[in-house]
A = this chain, B = another copy of it.
Amino acid sequence: MFQVNGMSQTPVYEQIVEQVEIFVAKGIFQSGSRIPSVRSLSVTLSINPNTIQKAYSDLTSRGILTSVPGKGIFISEGALDSVKEKGRRKVAELKSLVTELKIFGVEKKEILEIIDNEYSDEGGKLSDKM
């Protein structure tokens, strides 16, 4: 289910954070679901437990996960909302990125093509980012 790329620029713990968010956004993880324990995931991914712990803590503090010591970690009640909230912040990223593209001489037409492509078919596997 989870997969991590140790050679990626993005920190391992952040890759995990993003994957949880995506699974929540896609409805694969639903409120109340139990997610892999810190230790079990650290084994299956061959990663130090502390790294998983950091990812889960991050998600917990943002209200996406709820940890119950001794029992496990669960998807929070308002998880889907918290995740969509992150989508709002990514819009700001898009804005500044488009500004740069314009400066570097990328045509508007080319950008629109990309968007049409991503929003029509299955489009995009998050290839580079993950």
Q: Contact between B26 and A103 (Cβ–Cβ < 8 Å)?
A: yes
Kindly report how many copies of this chain are found in the complex they form together: 4
Interface residue tally for chain A (C-beta within 8 Å): 54
**CB contact between A118 and one of B22, B58, B99 (< 8 Å): that residue:** B99
Most buried by B among A21, A69, A106: A106
Find chain B residues with CB under 8 A from A58 CB: 61
* Chain A interface, >50% SS class: helix
A97 at the interface (CB under 8 A from B): yes
Residues on A close to B: CB < 8 A?
Answer: 6-9, 11, 21-22, 25-26, 58, 61, 66, 68-71, 74, 83-84, 86-88, 90-106, 108, 110-112, 114-115, 118-119, 123-129
